[in-house]
Each structure stands twice: as structure tokens, then as C-alpha cells.
Amino acid sequence: MLGKLWQQIRSSLSSLNGASFMAMAILTVSAIVLGLRHGGKLEYWELQAYDRLVLWREDIGPDSRLLLVTIDEEDLREQMQWPLSDRVYAQLLRRLQSLQPKVIGLDIYRDLPVEPGHEEFVQQLLQPNVFGIRSIDTLGGTPAPPSLQPEQVGFNDLLPDIDGVIRRNLLFAGSKDGILYSFSLRLALTYLKDQEIFPTSSQENPNYLQLGAATFFPLEPDSGGYQTMDSEGYQILLNYRNRRKIAQSVSISQVLAGEIEADLVRDKIVLIGSTASSLKDDFFTPYSRDESESQKMPGVMLHAQMVSQLLDAALSKRPLFWFIEERGEILWIVFWVSLGGIMGLALRHPIVLSLGVGGSLASLLAIVNWIFANSGWVPVATPILGFFLAVGMVVSYQSYQNLRQQQTVMKLLGQNTSPEIADALWQERDRLLFSGKLPGVSLTATLMFLDLKGFSIISETMSPEDLLNWLNELLADIGHEIVVHKGIINKFTGDGLMAVFGAPIPRKTTEEIGDDAGNCVNCALAISDYLERINFNWQQQGLPLMQVRIGIFTGPVVVGSLGGKDRIEYGVIGDTVNTAARLEGCEKHRQPNNCRILIGKETLVYLQDEFEVESWGPIALKGKQQMVDVYLVTGKRD
């Protein structure tokens, strides 16, 4: 059953031409990659490509609207405890408030008192510009500080992707307490109030948030390279500002010691959080793939990235990410698959194909990088995979077809053709091969007919098996000389053969036709020398001498496939063939040596006095109305 199915598949593939298979390959590959993409199998690779685009993008300088107050390992050693006491945070907030910040965000969980100084800390939390954090799910997380009003609290939960990297910013989330604001959104909205920018419903969709001129389109499960993303809540793609320094940073010890200037704090958003690696409040980001940078980014810096993005979007300084619709992404992917199929069909030379594939890949990445630099995200891994699959499928089919064509050529020519002729024919296969056949081609060639004299007498002295082995060995040696001299054995005639010099590639000049004629006569002389060696050995064994008649004639012929579907052969037809055959069989009683080589005048004119010849004069050949000038080749001129 499977064998029949495979035969049907092979038959179907064999019946397709290159263009038809290319179209089929494009449809097949498009269906495969789109199916893999829809099933989420390529999402990981799309996210890896996204990270690479982030790394290629030029960083923006630090955000002057922000200040980070960090708790590092040195601060922990100085305070000699964790968590820090409420008094430390009360002193910290008091110092910062004296420097007139616009907003203070405390990215530290503080749901329980840590004495001493709890009352002092509560008093500082009563300030309207102080914001704290909570978990979305307080049953499995941490609630907000009890003394803070609900509008002064935001969740600081982050959304890692399937590979643990933070690429999304969750603005709103639902919980048992209702709709919750994110920590970064609370800080940004408070900062924007003084600039009279307030959250409103977008005119494009009343369910979408608008700040200033920016509409925050929520992520869909299939936005950009995503396919299986959990789109719960109100999410946007996080547009990182830079990898190194999101804002000016000072330590908590510097603030407590009064070592910072008021300009660092005045009218800014101050974020307080830990950067100490021992506290493990850090996350993988797209920058983590750059080994020259720290593998993870502290949580407080991530929230600073989010605040900076929201401010830039609301103030029209940096656009939000945009995505094309699913239909557009499908067309984008199919375009690159189609280009791969066309390239695999059109570019046959390995170097040209490699350059074309490399150039196309570079173009794809350049286009994607330009789109990304303009805040757009389109699929990258999927079109690359589709492109290479299409190229590979079409090139594989072309190789399969080439192999079939080569097998057809070798079947037509047999195994006794010179490497030069076979290579020349193969290079011209597109012109010569048509539906598995060689179309008829008119050309000028030199024909050789060879026949063993006295074969009947020899056959009487041997058994049929020995005779066949002897004849095969003899014809194999003669055939070798023909191949060496760039000829083609067209057929064996029992005790003889027919060879062609100058086919299947048409000769364009007289010199090339002369070379074929010279090769043919040189081949005949080489066969003569071979017979002399054979006869010497046979004479020592008391065997009869072997004699050969060779007829050679040059003229126009038509070469191509002869036969039908079940059996074809490489045929050579024309009056030149008949004349060469008659030259071999004429004047059989005249055998001046063991290898008689007769040529017509039409061959002699191409030899340019290269050989010694003896004129036999005009001879009436069987079946020919006109006499033919015949010459006996006796050897090469010195």
C-alpha cells in the first residue's frame, strides 16, 4: 500500500514542471508555517527575534523626570538588617519630601509594622504624593500598607513571557477588590495632572485608555509575534528606554546622610526600591541576551522603564508599539515564502543562490529593523523559516529533477560516452530535454561504422558463452578508445558498432567539425594499434587473426530520441549514416591490413593533411546513386 502511494507521489512530482512545483511548494510551506505559528510553536523564536531587535536599537538617554533611590548591598551592610525598620523609611520619606518631589513611589512591600518607628512611617504615608504597592491577588501575595488610601496604591506584579523575560506592561487588572491600577500607571497619572493630562476614553474605542494624544491599544493574544499570550487585564508592549541607566540613581544611605542636591529631587518622580542581588528582586529582560550586560534588571528599574514609557506616550515624545492586523501578517509571511520559492526556481548556480538568499535575508532584517525603530513589530522568525523552507523545497525538487534528467540523458546515451560530451550535454539539458526525450537537433557530425571480418569463422571455434565473453571484452576495449577520443557509441550491431563524433551538442565552427573528424580517425588508428597487439598474442596461441573494417563519413545528421513511452534510444539518422555504413561494407575483398579504415572525401577536407591517405577513387556504394570518392587511411603524418 505504501509502495503504491510512494509511486503515485513520485509520478505526480515527475509530471510537474518547475513553475507548477514552485506554486505547490509556496502553498504547502505557507500552510505549514502559518499552522505552526497559529499553534504557538514559533512564538518562542519570535520573542527571541524581538529581543535581538531591542538590542540592535539605539538607546535613549536617562529620563530626567525620574530619580531612583536604591537599596544595594552596601546599604544592607550599613543598616545591618532586612527588612529595614519603619523608622528608616520614615526618615527617608521625610528627607525626600523636604526636597519637593512631585511623586514618591515606594516599591517595597510594607503590609506589616517593622518597629521601631511605625507611627512615624504612617505619618509619612499620609502625604498625598506617596504611593505604595500591593499584589493583584492578596490571598497569594502581599496587601498594600493599611494606612494608604486605595488611590495611592498600585500593583507591582510583572508578566514574564514563556521564557521568563519581561516584555509587557500590565496597566489594569481585575481582582476581588475591583479594577486595580498598576504602580507605574499611578505614578505617571499623578505626574501628568499638573500638565492637565487626564485618563479618558479613546474616540476610537470607548474601552481603550487615552492619555494626551496617545491611545493605548491593548495587546491581543496574536499581537506581533505572540500567538498564545494570556491577554487578561489591560496590557501593552513594554517599550524599554535603554539598557544601562534609566534615570539618575542615588543610594538610600546618600539620602539619609543628606548628600544629595535638591535639583535631583525637585518636581521629579522618585522611585524607591532594592537593587541588592541578595534580595532577588530582579528579572530577565530583552537585554539579558547581551552577555556584556547584567543578566537581570531590578524590579524598581523595570517600573521606572514603564513610567518613562507612559510619560513619553502621553507627551507625544515616544510612540507606543503598533501591530498590523492578522490578515496583513499573513500576507507578509506569504510574500517571503513566495520570494523563497521564486528564488529557489530562478537561481540555479550555488554561488548566485547563496548571494540571493543572503541578500534577501539581509533585506528582511533591514525592513523589520526599520519597522521596529518606528515602533512597529511584525513577525520575523516565521517569514525567515518559511523563506528557507520554500527555497529548500524548490531547490530539492530541482535537484531531484536534475538527477532524473541526468539519468534520462545517461540512459539515452548509454554508458559509453566521454566525460566531456556528457558534461556538455548536461549543461545544455534544459534545451535538449523535453518531456523526458531529446528533441531532434540538426548538426554536422562524423560517423564511424566498425565490423569484425571473419566473425563467423571465429564463432565456430568457441562455445556461445566463451564467444560472448570474448566479444564483450573486445568491444569494451574498442569502446574505451571511442570514449577517450570524445565519441559516443550509438549502438552495437552484434559483431560491430556505430559511433558518433560531434553529438549531441551542435558544433558552431568548421574548426570544431574538423576536430571531431580528426578525433574519429585518430580513434580508428588507435583501434588498429590495439588489434596489432591482440593479433600478436593470438598468433602466439595459434588463434586466427582478427581483422576489422571501419567506414568514416562526415556530414549533416539529425540526432534525438527514437521510440515511444516504453522504449527509447538515442537515434542518429540521415544520409551521412548510410554513407558511413556503406563505406565500411564496400570492396570487402580489399583488406590491405588488419584494420581497414576508409573515409569519404567529405571527411578528408576537414583533416587538413593530418593523415596519410591512399585514394581508391570514386566508388559506387550500395544504395547510392552518386559515386563517392573513397580514401584509405594508412597512418598519421609525421
Compute the average pLDDT of residues 379-402: 89
Round to whole Å and give the CA distance between 88 and 91: 5
Kindly tell me if the per-residue pLDDT of 4 is higher than 70. Answer: no
With cut-offs at 50, 70 and 90, classify the pLDDT of residue 469.
confident
The pTM (predicted TM-score) of the whole model is 0.69
Kindly tell me if the per-residue pLDDT of 408 is higher than 90. Answer: no
Kindly tell me if the per-residue pLDDT of 434 is higher than 60. Answer: no
Could you tell me which of 395, 377, 92, 86 has the C-alpha nearest to residue 256?
Answer: 92
Tell me if 376 sits within 8 A of 323, measured CB to CB: yes
With cut-offs at 50, 70 and 90, classify the pLDDT of residue 429.
low
591-601, pLDDT tens digit by residue?
Answer: 999 899 999 99
Output 235 or 537, whichever has higher pLDDT. Answer: 235
Kindly tell me if the per-residue pLDDT of 71 is higher than 70. Answer: yes
Could you tell me which of 134, 176, 169, 168 has the C-alpha nearest to residue 151?
Answer: 134
Alpha helices in 374-509 (DSSP H): 381-413, 419-427, 429-432, 455-460, 464-484
Strand ranges (E), 107-213? 130-134, 153-155, 168-175, 178-181, 200-201, 209-211
pLDDT at 523: 96
Domain boundaries, the chain: 2-40+327-405, 61-314, 424-636
Least confident of 175-189, 205-219, 422-436: 422-436
Q: Which residue has the cell 538610600?
A: 252
Least confident of 111-125, 204-218, 320-334, 453-467: 453-467
234-258, pLDDT tens digit by residue?
Answer: 999 999 999 889 999 999 999 999 9
- Beta-strand pair 209-211/200-201: antiparallel
Kindly tell me if the per-residue pLDDT of 5 is higher than 50. Answer: no
Residue 10 CB contacts under 8 Å (≥ 6 apart), including other chains: none
Could you tell me which of 455, 461, 601 has the C-alpha nearest to residue 542?
Answer: 461
Round to whole Å and give the CA distance between 220 and 371: 19
Compute the average pLDDT of residues 182-195: 95
Q: What are the φ/ψ torsions at residue 290 (nearest 5 degrees)?
A: -90, 110
370: exposed, middle or buried (C-beta count within 10 Å: 0-12, 13-18, 19+)?
Answer: exposed
With cut-offs at 50, 70 and 90, classify the pLDDT of residue 260.
very high
pLDDT at 142: 79
34-48, pLDDT tens digit by residue?
Answer: 999 999 999 999 999
Round to whole Å and give the CA distance between 527 and 520: 11
Report the mean per-residue pLDDT for the chain. 87
Compute the average pLDDT of residues 167-180: 91
573-619, pLDDT tens digit by residue?
Answer: 999 999 999 999 999 889 999 899 999 999 999 998 899 999 999 99
pLDDT at 555: 95
Compute the average pLDDT of residues 59-64: 92
Compute the average pLDDT of residues 10-22: 63
pLDDT at 564: 65
pLDDT at 9: 45
Output 460 or 412, whichever has higher pLDDT. Answer: 460
SS3 of 620, please?
coil
Could you tell me which of 421, 516, 519, 534 has the C-alpha nearest to residue 477?
Answer: 534
Q: What are the φ/ψ torsions at residue 521 (nearest 5 degrees)?
A: -65, -40
Kindly tell me if the per-residue pLDDT of 69 is higher than 80. Answer: yes
424-636: which CATH topology? Answer: Alpha-Beta Plaits (3.30.70)
pLDDT at 421: 56
Q: Which residue has the cell 517571503?
A: 336
Residue 150 CB contacts under 8 Å (≥ 6 apart), including other chains: 144, 177
* Crossing angle of helices 419-427 and 381-413, rounded to 10°: 130
478-506, pLDDT tens digit by residue?
Answer: 989 998 999 988 888 888 899 999 988 88
As a residue count, the chain comes to 638
Q: What are the φ/ψ torsions at residue 49 (nearest 5 degrees)?
A: -65, -40
pLDDT at 327: 92
Reduced DSSP (H G I as helix, E B as strand, rest coil) percent helix, strand, coil of the chain, to 5: 45, 20, 35
Compute the average pLDDT of residues 338-351: 88
Round to whole Å and give the CA distance between 137 and 143: 8
Output 503 or 415, whichever has higher pLDDT. Answer: 503
